Amino acid sequence: MDKNTRNYLTVTAGYWAFTITDGAIRMLVVLYFHQLGYSPFEVAMLFLFYEVFGIITNLVGGWLGARIGLNLTMHIGMGLQVIALMMLTVPDAWLGVVYVMAAQALSGIAKDLNKMSAKATVKTLTGGGAAGESKLFKYVAVLTGSKNALKGAGFFVGAALLQGFGFRNALFILAGGLFLVMVITIALLPSGVGKLKEKAKFTQVFSNTPAINWLSAARFFLFGARDVWFVVALPVYLSAVLGWEYTAVGGFLALWVIGYGIVQAGAPALIRPSKQGQGPSGRTALLGALVLALIPAGIALALTEGPTFAWEPAPILIVGLILFGIVFAINSAVHSYLILAYADADKVALNVGFYYMANAGGRLAGTVLSGLIYQIQGLEGCLWWSTGFVLAAALLSLWLPRRPQATALKAVAPQPGQVQVDGVVEPTRRAELYAPMAGRLQACSVREGDPVHAGQRLLSIVPTADELAEHPIEAPWDGRIARLHARVEGREIAAQTLLVELFDPNSLVLRFAVDGQQAIGLGVGQSVRAQFSAAPDSLIELRITRTWPAIEPETGQRVFEAWIPPQADLAIGMKAQVRANPAISLQLPANSLDGLASPSGILAAHGSGPQAQA
């Protein structure tokens, strides 16, 4: 088993264990506190901080994961969940609303740290190209689908533990099991997965990619549409109106979520790939939302008109929930794939964190409205609100890219023995110019893309302490302006504010990483072919100019660079598919074999020239 697959399985196993405790604690709190006499709205409010802090966690967690590594944020989440479970083991007299909300806040932080870390890690473990996209869709679908199936199992586990062992003993069992899993995954996972080589700035958590912003907004309404009737209204209706036992409620909801997870895991087999062999697109998300909107509306109509036709509410809900679960699972799988397909591979933790912030916001809105609307309008009202939320998600999906990826390329199957990976255009020589003192901007004379020469004044700062002095900010060498962070003259800035980013156009390279075993036979001077997203119908031939001397320990890959002539005028960050044919044999200097024992003839020098073949 290769390293990436082993890490994927370890992440998935840890995510599974966490998910069972997350589903169990949700069912424990809903049923136990309803038993204590809490109203549906009060039960919903117990989860208010769970969702609020989930929003904050996703916002901050992506940034934190990019700085310290995704595996560390995942384990922090596990540790916080253990603490949250133990907090609820105190006597009933301590279990006031504020205390329980605080424990749920900690659980919300834990859950979203764990989820963001696990899903973002998947992006780092799949390759590039069409094959990588296909693997990404399958990996995400299996991870998310199995998670939801196990969350359903967690509902049943929570209800069964409550009935069999009581509230506090159930919490002790869950906390102990999760702690054991945390220790095992700490031992198995490498450090630094998903960590940016440069420290991520907090402002980077806000996505500047339109596709991610539209998808995040659609995700908000999609998950609000589920939780507005599923979280509080449905279990309370089944228990209080239909008279179901706690184990029946927990078992039914568990079976629903398990089935929903199974469908989600199988979504890649249900959705036909695009003509390019790639995954779903924005059009898939739009059509899925339109179909989904019909189901809660149909359930609401059937419940309203049921007495007229002598229809029992239980069969209506069971059939309706099955249909809703199937279609919602496919929608969720498509969204989970699209966020990773749209995300920048170098900033996946930040992009995924922003996206799941919207996801948590939708859950928060749905949870609060679930209790409030049920109390005012009943279950039918919750279903109509669900329909409206789904239609909002469909409307927002109109702006999603119609191609499977924002930077889609024509899929070309690699030839036998050929390496095909993703690459990105980057400068090897760049500079960041900072304000040496606080002051006022003045005489800004450049814009993005402008060529500059060494010593050229780019802008000036009038120091706050001395209005008569003027400090010029000059280009350190010949180059071009990559980004201008300060352009408004007269604006006051603080010391050490980033002003200008500069790069050398002669230093542009196409950087790509190849798995360690496949990297054998690739070296300086060897030609590669690059298919850029800006010109998907053409191939550009480049030559490798640098090989990094060490395998990256987090990924098991070796990094290569191919120099790009400045006249190509390619943009920084432009992506390409890189194809290369590694040499069949490894060339070594003849004198490097002197003195090496070769009892089996594996190493043999041929001829007397400067190169020998091994």
- 475 falls in which pLDDT band (50, 70, 90)? very high
Q: Which residues contact 98 (CB under 8 A, 6 or more apart)?
A: none
Per-residue pLDDT at 31: 79
Task: State yes or no: pLDDT of 407 exceeds 80.
Answer: no
Range from 345-359, 380-394, 577-591 that averages highest in pLDDT: 380-394
Cα→Cα distances 115→10, 164, 312, 487, Å: 14, 29, 38, 39
Note the pLDDT of residue 276: 46
DSSP 313-378: HHHHHHHHHHHHHHHHHHHHHHHHHHHHHHS-GGGHHHHHHHHHHHHHHHHHHHHHHHHHHHHHHH
Higher pLDDT, 602 or 319: 319
Categorize the per-residue pLDDT at 598 as very low, low, confident or very high, splitting at 50, 70 and 90: very low
Task: Name the most confidently modeled range: 30-39, 260-269, 485-494.
Answer: 485-494
Instruction: Determine the pLDDT at residue 119.
Output: 65
What pLDDT is attached to residue 385?
95
End-to-end CA distance of the chain: 27
pLDDT at 538: 64
Residue 446 backbone dihedrals phi, psi, to 5 degrees: -130, 165
Q: What is the pLDDT of residue 252?
A: 84
CB atoms under 10 Å from CB of 571, counted, come to: 11
Half-sphere exposure of 105 (CA within 13 A, CB side): 10
Q: Which pLDDT band, with edges at 50, 70 and 90, does 587 fall under?
A: very low
Q: What is the mean pLDDT of residues 494-513?
A: 91
* Choice among 7-11, 146-150, 151-155, 346-350 with the minimum mean pLDDT: 346-350
Lowest-confidence pick of 267-271, 344-348, 600-604:
600-604
What is the DSSP track for 582-610?
--SS-EEEGGGGTT---TTSSS---SSSS
In this prediction, residue 350 has a pLDDT band, given cuts at 50, 70 and 90, of low
In the prediction, which pLDDT does 145 show?
Answer: 67
Confidence of residue 592 (pLDDT cuts 50, 70, 90): very low
Supply the pLDDT for residue 400. 87
Instruction: Cite the beta strand spans of 394-507 per DSSP E.
Output: 419-427, 430-434, 439-442, 451-452, 457-463, 471-474, 479-484, 492-493, 498-503
Decide if 360 contacts 48 (C-beta within 8 A): no
Name the most confidently modeled range: 27-31, 74-78, 115-119. Answer: 74-78
Q: Could you give the 3-state DSSP secondary structure of residue 461?
A: strand
pLDDT band at 277 (very low <50, low <70, confident <90, very high): very low
Q: What is the pLDDT of residues 208-226, one digit of tens each?
A: 578 888 898 999 999 999 9
**Is 65 exposed, middle or buried (CB count within 10 Å of its CB: 0-12, 13-18, 19+)?**
buried
Arithmetic mean of pLDDT, 28-45: 78
Distance CA 40, CA 457 (A): 66
pLDDT of 603 reads 35
The confidence band for 136, taking pLDDT boundaries of 50, 70 and 90, is: low
**pLDDT attached to residue 346:** 53
Say if residue 430's pLDDT is above 50: yes
Give the per-residue pLDDT at 310: 85
Per-residue confidence (pLDDT) for residue 236, from 0 to 100: 85
* Confidence tier at 122 by pLDDT (50, 70, 90): low
Helices (H) and strands (E) in the chain, counts: 14, 16
Residues 521-532: pLDDT tens digits? 888 888 888 887
Q: Determine the average pLDDT of the residues in 325-330.
A: 91
| pLDDT mean over 384-395 | 96
Percent above pLDDT 70 for the chain: 76
pLDDT > 90 fraction of the chain, expressed in percent and rounded: 21
What mean pLDDT comes out for the span 68-88? 85
Comparing 243-257, 269-283, 520-534, the range with the smallest average pLDDT is 269-283
Which residue in the block uniquely carries the two structure tokens 């990826």? 405
**pLDDT at residue number 411:** 44
Mean pLDDT of 80-87: 91
Mean pLDDT over all residues of the chain?
Answer: 78
pTM above 0.75, yes or no: no
**Tell me, what's the pLDDT at 536?**
58
Query: Mean per-residue pLDDT for 524-551?
Result: 81
Pair 46, 29: CB distance under 8 Å: yes
**pLDDT-based confidence at residue 384 (cuts at 50, 70, 90):** very high
Q: What pLDDT sits at residue 408?
A: 40
Output the pLDDT for position 190: 67
pLDDT of residue 561: 94
Q: What pLDDT is attached to residue 480?
A: 92
**pLDDT of res. 127:** 52
- Hey, which residues does 511 pair with through a beta bridge? 424, 561
Over residues 154-205, the pLDDT tens digits come to 888 888 888 888 888 989 999 998 899 898 888 887 665 544 444 445 444 4
Q: CB–CB of 510/542 below 8 Å?
A: yes
Choose between 409 and 521: higher pLDDT: 521
pLDDT band for position 462 (cuts 50, 70, 90): confident
Highest mean pLDDT among 251-260, 382-391, 512-521: 382-391
Residue-range domains of the chain with CATH:
3-193+205-397 (1.20.1250.20), 412-423+505-583 (2.40.30.170), 430-503 (2.40.50.100), 586-614 (no CATH)
Q: What pLDDT does 600 receive?
A: 37
